[in-house]
Amino acid sequence: MADDQERTRIAVKVGAGAASSKISGWQADCLRVRISTAPERGKANAALIALLARALGLPKSAIRITRGEHSAHKTIEVTGLSEQAIMRLLRSEPSSQ
């Protein structure tokens, strides 16, 4: 994770096409997320952003994919929360859609 003036970057591993959307938790410094939406035409990316926004209590505009738009391994930038706040919120998130 990198924290830069209220912009925090997190590594995310996404599994698309799951039975339900949920945040599976942290594995080392990478957040594992399951998305029920199929990875076509950006739908899974939009579902990922919506899930993270809901879990973090932020608007979707505060979350963006900075790397890996067409990959399961992504870098997400979150504006408005520190690394510690993100870790705390996502660690305790029951997070199903």
Among residues 80, 68, 61, the alpha carbon closest in space to that of 33 is found at 68
Q: Please, which pLDDT band fits residue 90 given cuts at 50, 70 and 90?
A: confident
Domain limits, the chain:
2-91
Query: Could you tell me the fold of the domain covering 2-91?
Result: Conserved Hypothetical Protein Mth637; Chain: A; (3.30.1200)
Distance (Å, rounded) from C-alpha 19 to C-alpha 11? 22
pLDDT digits (tens, 9 = 90+) for 63-83: 999 999 999 999 999 999 988
The answer to whether the CB of 95 falls within 8 A of the CB of 32 is: no
Q: What is the pLDDT at residue 5?
A: 53
List, in sequence order, every residue forming a beta bridge with 14; answer none if it has no partner. Answer: 33
pLDDT digits (tens, 9 = 90+) for 18-58: 888 999 988 888 999 999 988 888 899 999 999 999 999 99
* Exposure of 63 in the CB half-sphere (CA atoms within 13 A): 23
